[in-house]
């Protein structure tokens, strides 16, 4: 079966997606979530690793689905809807953590257009309540992923003239996240460095 993106482009599954298909898995969901697939997939696998090692407990919030019609136990009409919160939340070292993951192909800046106002409101409230709030931003073309604390990020986001945060600022303010096999993305090490002085 040929799968297409909403824009009509043909989707070529990698071997991982292939495996999932064979399990009769929710292929369509993967297709929908494709936008941020590379990074999201890395984070999800890292969380599986971290969670099962007992180091943290962080889960992805499922994309909300608006159910319109059912036939007995079967949903026959439903639509994906937008999250008013962020992608991930959980607990690490006794603290509440909450973050959003985004990737960009740009080499020079991270554009804000994909961040929704409700997400910003949400992250601000996390900070007010004493939680840890950050973004994980991947510059795909540079093969670099940064943890960026919300407090470092917000001044750029809220400056009326700006529509993006320059790469150089992300590099300076953020913590580079090391990549490996298990976990793929050692983002908790970056959290340690940024928030726990380790």
Q: Which residues lie near a second copy (CB under 8 A)?
A: 3-8, 11, 16, 23-24, 26-29, 31-32, 51, 54, 56-57, 59, 61-62, 64-70, 73-80, 85, 89-96, 98, 112-113, 115, 117-118, 120-122, 125-126, 128-131, 157-158, 160, 163
One-character DSSP codes across 14-27: -HHHHHHHHTT--H
**Nearest CB to a second copy, comparing residues 84 and 176:** 84
**Nearest CB to a second copy, comparing residues 28 and 176:** 28
Question: In the numeric block, which tokens belong to residue 176?
Answer: 């580079």
Please state, in angstroms and as integers, the Cα–Cα distance from residue 58 to each residue in 103, 108, 143, 170, following that order: 20, 30, 24, 24
- To the nearest whole angstrom, how small is the minimum distance from the Cβ of residue 2 to a second copy? 10
- To the nearest whole angstrom, how small is the minimum distance from the Cβ of residue 14 to a second copy? 13
The residue to which tokens 């670099």 are assigned: 144
**Nearest CB to a second copy, comparing residues 105 and 160:** 160
79 with 63: CB under 8 angstroms?
no
- To the nearest whole angstrom, how small is the minimum distance from the Cβ of residue 43 to a second copy? 17
Between 117-128 and 150-158, two packed helices, what is the crossing angle to 10 degrees? 140
**Nearest CB to a second copy, comparing residues 96 and 179:** 96
6 with 40: CB under 8 angstroms?
no
């Amino acid at each position: 079966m040929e799968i297409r993106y909403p824009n009509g482009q043909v989707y070529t599954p990698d071997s991982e997606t292939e495996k999932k298909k064979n399990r009769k898995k929710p292929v369509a969901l993967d297709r929908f979530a494709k936008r941020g697939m590379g990074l999201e997939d890395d984070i999800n696998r890292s969380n599986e690793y971290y969670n099962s090692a007992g180091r943290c407990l962080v889960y992805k919030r499922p994309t909300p689905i608006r159910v319109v019609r059912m036939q007995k136990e079967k949903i026959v009409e439903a639509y994906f809807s937008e999250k008013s919160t962020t992608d991930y939340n959980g607990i690490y070292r006794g603290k509440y953590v909450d973050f959003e993951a985004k990737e960009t192909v740009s080499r020079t800046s991270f554009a804000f257009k994909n961040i929704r106002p409700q997400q910003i409101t949400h992250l601000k409230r996390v900070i007010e309540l004493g939680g840890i709030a950050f973004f994980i931003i991947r510059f795909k073309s540079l093969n670099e992923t940064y943890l960026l604390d919300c407090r470092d990020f917000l001044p750029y986001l809220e400056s009326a003239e700006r529509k993006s945060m320059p790469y150089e600022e992300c590099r300076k303010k953020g913590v580079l996240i090391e990549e490996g096999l298990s976990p793929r993305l050692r983002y908790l090490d970056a959290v340690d460095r940024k928030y726990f002085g380790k």
